[in-house]
Amino acid sequence: MVKPVKVGIVGLGTVGSGTVNVLQRNSAEIASRVGRPIEISHIGARRENPNCNIEGIKVSRDIFAVAADPEVDILVELIGGTTVARDLILQAISNGKHIVTANKALIAEHGNEIFTAAHAKGVDVAFEASVAGGIPILKSLGEGLAANHIKWIAGIINGTGNFILTEMREKGRAFADVLAEAQALGYAEADPTFDVEGIDAAHKLTILASIAYGIPLQFSKVYTEGISNLTTEDVEAAEQFGYRIKHLGIAKDTGNGIELRVHPTMIPHSVLLASVNGVMNAIMVDGDAVGPTLFYGAGAGAEPTASSVVADIIELGRALTADHDERVPYLGFHADAMNPAPVLPIDDVVCPFYIRLHVQDKPGVLADITRILSDNSISIEAMQQKDVDGDAPVPILMMTHSVREADLNAALKKIAALDTVLDEIVRIRVELLTA
């Protein structure tokens, strides 16, 4: 009889219970794909989850007992966080266990250390579920698109932010109102900072860029900007100019270095990414051979994420008898062939911008603003000046042609210093994506 692959699962929350259910429900098909059965032999969890059946499976309250269990071939880490999870995975690696994780923060911040330890021990680390839930984007980048030089990646990789922007656009609701609903629906945490300020997306973009470009994981160098300052005025203005605002993670090879940035972005209505609504995720990848491609699906949830977790388990189950050095490298490139290209600072990014400012209704105000822009070599593509009643501030909305961010910021600093300019100036980057 063929020896089964023994799996230890640590964490029995939403994704953990989904993983148990998928492994049990599809056990016969999974065994056929692997060539031998996959068995859950040990679970580490503080409490049971009524959404899955773990009868007959060994359960430990001490999660490190799973990492020490000699029967476990593959440890599946689903507890989240970057402290205990890091210690758990490093201990499991030292005990010769292969790793599957859905932990994007852990991979983005400690992946270089973990991969080094795993390579030295001759074990593998798989993390498909760490980015975009059930969308197999990491395998697609590392294997399916491996023949391509990746020009750029642009992704909606946080469902909470996309839900909020969709509601603001479709129903004219304010950010705070939609955020409260997202929290009530369970899309956003009680502290929504990671989602709405772009940190979650920055973790995911770090991983995507490393696989796309063969650069080390460099989370600290990702420019990160959230959506909490966006207003319905901005969302409506984007529509009037022919654009839609999405909270994107963007990685781009400029030839001089790699751009890594997460921020609200205006993209043309005609781009497929502009039509991705609600909590769904989507990633566009432009390869030199294949051209633009779009990957769309559920970016979170019990079984969509479990789909990727179990796919990693299947892959490792197949590879258990293969020589470690012959397997696909963790980040798609061999460790001695990583790309030394620098990550570019946000000041060097060149793109068009949307600008919104409120001014006093006085003669010469617009002339002062356009003069400052002209002095900084910034040209205007389109502009709207809205009528107001009485002495209310006048909104001025502008779209620029492509400009270096540092030059725009210098001009906006001078404009903000004008006595006639009121409130904080809002600017949103524009990406003219193809397809």
Q: Which of 127, 119, 150 is nearest to 334 (CA)?
A: 119
Strand 150-156 to 243-253 pairing: antiparallel
Evaluate the CA torsion angle 336, 204, 115, 320 in order and state its sign.
negative
Angle value at C-alpha 48, between 47 and 51, nearest 5 degrees? 140
Angle value at C-alpha 59, between 32 and 51, nearest 5 degrees? 70
- 239: helix, coil or strand? helix
Q: Which of 297, 176, 155, 166 is nearest to 228 (CA)?
A: 176
Going by C-beta distance under 8 Å and a sequence separation of 6 or more, which residues neighbour residue 141? 150, 208, 211, 212, 285, 332
Q: DSSP per residue over 18-48, as a string?
A: HHHHHHHHTHHHHHHHHTS-EEEEEEE-SS-
Terminal C-alpha separation, the chain: 52
Catalytic pick among 6, 97, 139, 204: 204
Whether residue 362 lies in the annotated active site: no
Catalytic center residues: 204
